[in-house]
Structure 1
């Protein structure tokens, strides 16, 4: 059992969140806090749901509308998901660097594809057209003589 396990009936969740059960029903109807349902269609709240209800109460007391609260919760969920993805990628990067210390993790190939190279090796790039204009006075750049 973890904090996402649905164990509380609506009355118990309402007591824990210090709200009226009808408020929980309203929040479920508008999608603010949606508990899981049993096979008999009874709401079952998890500790996570109760924490979320408390957060809704706190934000409401600060003057946010229900739509504002929904958006804040949505953004907080997105931040948590992105943080988890960053940690996952950092672990993968660390593993790759430990397992293959002589390799770069990645480089961009000539056509933009991802390639692996030995350390110190560079991708050879084809450049059919190269446009170069020296910085002159008046364009915000430094003038370099030569």
Structure 2
């Protein structure tokens, strides 16, 4: 799923906010942002001179970290929650890809069965996986 932004607006991953602005927008002290970076919870972009630059996505993550720590979650717990969030997002993306592949396979089957001289339903066409190492398994009931 692609993020949408107004024409000319930076992408959510564009590192555009200096630390003072990021601190103000998140309600955190700049030292807290530096501490989160030292702990490995956030990795802001850097300018050529070494200045930190935060993206909109970084600000969202900082707010999430602040909410978790305010509710009593320790640093390692926050780290694990963020890892799991990343895994969930990756799985959602993969699920979307697989759903699209499944729909393409179903459409290929519909077209194959609708074409003149199509094979009987128990003789399904061979479908090739678009990526090496992936398989398509078609189950059918025995006669």
TM score, norm. by length of structure 1: 0.69
- Following superposition, the deviation at residue 4 of structure 1 comes to 1.1
Unaligned runs of 5+ in 1: 107-112, 123-146
Distance 2:94 2:136 in 1: 22
1:114 shift after superposition: 4.6
CA RMSD in angstroms, aligned pairs only: 2.6
The answer to whether the aligner puts 1:50 opposite 2:56 as a matched pair is no
Say which structure is richer in helix: 2
Q: TM-score, normalised by structure 2?
A: 0.71
Displacement of 1:100: 3.2
Unaligned runs of 5+ in 2: 1-9, 114-123, 128-133
Runs of 4+ in structure 1 off by over 2 angstroms are 99-106, 113-117, 119-122
RCO higher in 1 or 2 (8 Å CA, sep ≥ 6)?
A: 2
Establish whether residue 7 from structure 1 lines up as the match of residue 16 from structure 2: yes
Q: Give yes or no for the alignment of 1:78 onto 2:82.
A: no
Q: Which has the larger radius of gyration?
A: 1
Query: Deviation string for 1:27-86 (max 9, x for gaps)?
Result: 111110111112222111011100111111111111001111111011111111111101
